[in-house]
Structure formats: C-alpha cells, structure tokens
Amino acid sequence: MKISTALALLVTSAAAQQRINEIVRLEAHDKPEDYSSPLPHDYIQDDEVPRSWHWGNVDGKNFLTHQLNQHIPQYCKWHAWAVDCPK
C-alpha cells in the first residue's frame, strides 16, 4: 500500500512539472518588445478623431448583424455555443 501511494505521488509530481507552454518564439522575431514606432496619440490630433462612431453607419454601410431572439427554443438548438439558452 505504501509503495503504491509513493509511486502515485511520484507520477503525479512528475506530471505536474511537465507544463505545456503555449508561447512559441519564432526564429526571426528577435525583438519581442520593440517600441520604437510612435504611438497613435503622438501622430493623431484630437480633431481627427470622430466625435461619435457607430458600426451601423460607416460611410453609409451597416456592419452589424440582425439580432435573433435566442430565448426561443428553436434558436437554442444551434446557438447554445454563443449564449446560455434555457432548457
């Protein structure tokens, strides 16, 4: 019993030490933090920024999608990945 417990602890601790790292440094990217380019507040004047903005009217074009009533059961079948539908 003690041997199996010790073996289980050993396997668990070894697995915990092998962490998967999602960050991959590519060969050509040798400067990860290069801030030599000017920031937008350095080259954009306040009067160049629009006073209001709406995705429904960008130069007369609507970039919004119509809203579905996703609380109706027929939509919950296909849209449950996007919203929490009642069952």
Q: Is the pLDDT of residue 85 over 70?
A: no
Convert the pLDDT of each residue in 59-77 to its tens digit: 999 999 877 666 666 555 5
Residue 76 CB coordination number (10 Å): 15
Separation CA 16–CA 10 (nearest Å): 10
Residue 58's φ and ψ, nearest 5 degrees, are -110, 100
H-type helices in the chain, by residue range?
2-17, 40-43, 73-79
* Tens of pLDDT, residues 29-61: 777 776 778 888 889 999 999 899 999 999 999
35/80: higher pLDDT: 35
For the whole prediction, is pTM greater than 0.85?
Answer: no
Q: How confident is the model at residue 3 (pLDDT cuts 50, 70, 90)?
A: confident
